[in-house]
Chain A
Amino acid sequence: MAEQPWNAAGVAKIRPRIGRWDVAENGEVSLVGTRCTSCGESFFPERRVCGRCRSEATEEIRLKGPARLDSYTVVHQLPAGFAAPLAIGYAALGGDVLVLAPIDAAPDLLRVGMPLALRVGVTRIDDDGEPMTSYRFAPTGA
């Protein structure tokens, strides 16, 4: 039987859209982003219209590590499905695209400016019990 698109309460089940990623044969993770060919601004996740100049002339790009940590926090109070505490941060990918992701690192080691690599892992357990996989950061060489 086909899966119903709504839950028991009649609320539509919409999978969160956190953006796409690729894992190469050598294990290297890249994020699928968009570059505006009119003004040159790059975005992640993908978008159809440029957020800066509204042009629809865009191309697909791949964003790879290393990323540079721009800001971070260790979150202690979290919704159901997460394991607390959770380190998250913004890191600059491809030079100038800020991406937010969980960080696999001991909180004491986190420093603004530190280099990070992309990886993929389970970030939380969804309402329906399914693990949600996402892109994550980890210190380079970890």
Chain B
Amino acid sequence: MRDVFVIGSGMIRFGRYPERLLEDFAGEAVRAALADSGVDPGRIGMAVFGHSQGGRVAGQRVLRELGLTGISILNVENACAGGGSALHTGWMAVASGLHDVALVVGMEKMQKGLIPPNPGEYEAVLGKTLPAKYALRARKHMARYGLTAAQLALVSVKNHRAGALNPNAHYQKEVTLEEVLASRPVAEPLTLLQCCPTTDGAAAVVIAGGELARGVRQSVVRIAATTLKSGMYRNALKDPLSSDDDVATRTGAAAYEMAGLGPTDVDVAEVHDAFTIGEILAYENLGFCPRGQGGRLVEEGVTSIGGRLPVNPSGGRLSLGHPLGATGVVQVVELTRQLQGRCGARQVPGAKVALAYVVGGSTPGIGSGASTVHILTM
């Protein structure tokens, strides 16, 4: 396997676009990434699209509008981990030498409100909505480790503060701790401002290997690790970790091994904060702090911009927004630009190592269906 680099990145401003087609705004993200890379579009051998609700061959519909036809195009569905899974797939195509340049796109046009369950998801059928899944994990963490409602809410305060500095975020407005705690309950202890909004969006990166990765317009960022894992059976009453914590921990550990790095090497991270508790658990599963200490980490400001390890400087899912398939790619857009020093008011100074983590697909018996971790280095 050869080294693979991110040579261009692009995105649209995330938001609600009821009047716009997916093909239209995803194409805008693709054009931005191509322009950023400066690469001749004729050099692209493969395009991989992560999305859950774009319908059949949505990637082909996007690229038809740009005249990028005839190449290998693959549509990847892996719920909220679809974008990360698409990047993993594109990386395999380039690292193997099959293609020199690949385009990876994450995109989603969302439906309003709750994501409806499939009839085979027997827990969801009994009322376990996605917010409820995370609420159950939060309550467990509170009972076991003493996580407080205020610590949870601080994740939302922190990420909205970062989002207010990101011109591409859906919500660019700070919120106070009191506002977060007083917003209406969705699944206790999670309140509305602790749940990601409904957001449309698209993001794209151009990745390349070999000679093509040199001499491009922007300084290149290396993909030092890419890992994709699925959830497996764990009995939380007997095994050390629940299925959900286990898959995140395994995906992270495999990525650190692949990169030859550890949690203390990470300068900046984007993690899955679809719900506030998700970010707390990500700290612990990715080794940013010992188990049970995630609440303290956010409380002490370690993960704020200006802290030792800023997490979700983009504003995260809570403020930037969470168009399912787009998330895994937009995290890498943000981190690539952080490493390149292009992030303005929310820049993490001198960042050299960045980590992106997404997880998705609530599946009874195996926890999260898919999880990816990417480590980028300068």
Residues of A within 8 A of B (CB): 14-19, 41, 43, 45, 51-52, 70-79, 82, 85-86, 88-90, 92, 95-96, 98, 100-102, 107, 112-113, 123-124, 132, 134
Contact = CB atoms under 8 A, between A and B. Distances in A.
Contacts of B120: 14, 16-17
Contacts of B233: 51-52
B131 interface: yes
15 contacts: A14-B119, A16-B119, A16-B120, A52-B235, A73-B136, A73-B187, A73-B189, A76-B187, A79-B129, A86-B127, A88-B126, A88-B128, A100-B123, A100-B126, A102-B127
B345 interface: no
A53 to B, nearest CB: 9
A10 to B, nearest CB: 16
Interface in B94-146: 113-114, 116-117, 119-120, 122-123, 125-129, 131-132, 135-140, 143
Contacts of B132: 73, 75, 88
Given A75-B129, A79-B114, A19 B185 contact: no
Nearest to A72: B139
A73 B365 CA distance: 19
Contacts of B128: 75, 88, 100
A9 B308 CA distance: 54
A134 B126 contact: yes
B156 to A, nearest CB: 17
A76 B131 CA distance: 10
Contacts of B137: 71
Contacts of A85: 185
Contacts of B188: 73-76, 107
Contacts of A16: 119-120, 122, 125
Nearest to B366: A51
A89 B139 CA distance: 10
Interface residues of B, number: 37
B191 to A, nearest CB: 10
B238 interface: yes
Given A73-B135, A73-B136, A74-B187, A112 B143 contact: yes
B175 interface: no
B237 A51 contact: no
B237 A92 contact: yes
A78 B127 contact: yes
B236 interface: yes
B212 to A, nearest CB: 44
B186 interface: yes
A116 to B, nearest CB: 15
Contacts of B236: 70, 98
A14 B125 CA distance: 12
B235 A98 contact: yes
Contacts of B364: 100
Contacts of A17: 119-120, 122
A90 B137 CA distance: 10
Specify which of A19, A75, A82 lies most central, judged by the most chain B CB atoms within 10 Å of its CB: A75
Of all A-B residue pairs in the complex, the 8 with the closest CB atoms, nearest first, are A51-B233, A73-B135, A16-B125, A112-B143, A71-B140, A74-B188, A100-B123, A14-B119
A108 B188 CA distance: 12
B214 interface: no
Contacts of A92: 237
B188 to A, nearest CB: 4
Contacts of A43: 365
A126 to B, nearest CB: 10
B27 to A, nearest CB: 30
A77 B143 contact: no
Contacts of A76: 184-188
B143 A71 contact: yes
B135 to A, nearest CB: 4
Nearest to A136: B126
Contacts of A132: 125
B211 to A, nearest CB: 46
A48 to B, nearest CB: 13
Given A77-B129, A79-B116, A100-B128, A19 B122 contact: yes
A5 B123 CA distance: 23
A98 to B, nearest CB: 6
Interface string B139-161: 11001000000000000000000
A75 B138 CA distance: 13
Nearest to B117: A79
